Structure 1
Amino acid sequence: MFLKLFRKSDAVPSETELLAQYRQTGDLRILGQLYEPNMEMLYAVCYKYLTSEDAAKDAVMQVFEELVNKARTHEISNWKSWLHSVAKNYCLMQLRSRKEFVDAQRMESEDRLHLVEEAPEEPLPLKELDDCLKKLNREQQQTVSLFFLQEKSYRQIVEETGYELNQVKSYLQNGRRNLKLCMEAQVERFP
């Protein structure tokens, strides 16, 4: 009987108990106890998606930071499975933002190449570009300025403006097209 009591007090709390303690206290050491045994599995998941050791290591740390709030607010019935899903979703978001960044760079390079091919030998003054930018509607003007002039990402523009991601993409696409048409008209007016 004495040994049973002694063993019970040394028993390691279950994931469910640790999770309940973390939700009550917000103690990051408890979250660390939950997280640490799963770090290898999380690294493997992140490496599978991100295909870079450094990116996978960074992702493992970023996932932990996301858990600080998520673990306190989400209903979690299976910690390991839920953790796997959080890591996978984090990596997919990283890939999606990279794709948007690469797509944006590609589009910007194509636009620059296109403008270089069609531009007169002497560049247009910045005043014409500024005039054309002012002719765009407010949303297009704002997103084009944020994306190209301030070099903000789609995500940053969404956060700053409150527009939906699809709206941002549409405003950028239409704004770029309208800006290009305006600039072409400027070139024709001032050969």
Structure 2
Amino acid sequence: MRERPADTDRLLIQRLARGEARALDELYGRFGGVLFGYLLALSPHREAAEEILQDTFVAAWRAAGSFEGRSSVKTWLFAIARRRAHEALRRRSLPLNDEGELEALADREPDPEKASLTGESERELADCISRLSSSQREALVLVFFQEFSYAETAEVLGVPIGTVKSRLSNAKRSLRTLMTDPEGPGPNHATRGKEERKRGDDDV
């Protein structure tokens, strides 16, 4: 019987827990690219994303022995990466990415739902996404660009599934508004704090 990818991933973590350096290289080969793409959407600088990526794999090495297999290895790694990103950016007093490398995420063949949401060029899509609140943007990136399920996204973000759905609904509504009124005030303007507090209330 052929080994399933999920089983291969779990065996990698078991080998990592035993201290096998080659297992870390293989884990990096499997997930380094997608994790870096996610971190580029969070980090204001490419260099910061690269440092956080390295920190993520160091943290995974140290935590491998505590991995219980209740989630997929990919979900587990993304949750680590998210925590590392927020901690690193908070220490440096840097904001979550306002635009930066979001164009790289948008520069893909859009699926029907993304296309119906935007109908925009890659640059315009990146600009619209950059103007969402950080909580909306994270949920959107995980579901539409990283193709996580709602349950997996909830696990990465550490919130209930209902909150993920609420953030996505608000994100799609905000994107439609930005498409029709691109010059209108977005969350990056003076109203950002007020809007994010209201969204936080809606997310509960």
Normalising by structure 1, report the TM-score: 0.42
Bigger Rg, which one: 1
**Higher share of residues assigned helix:** 1
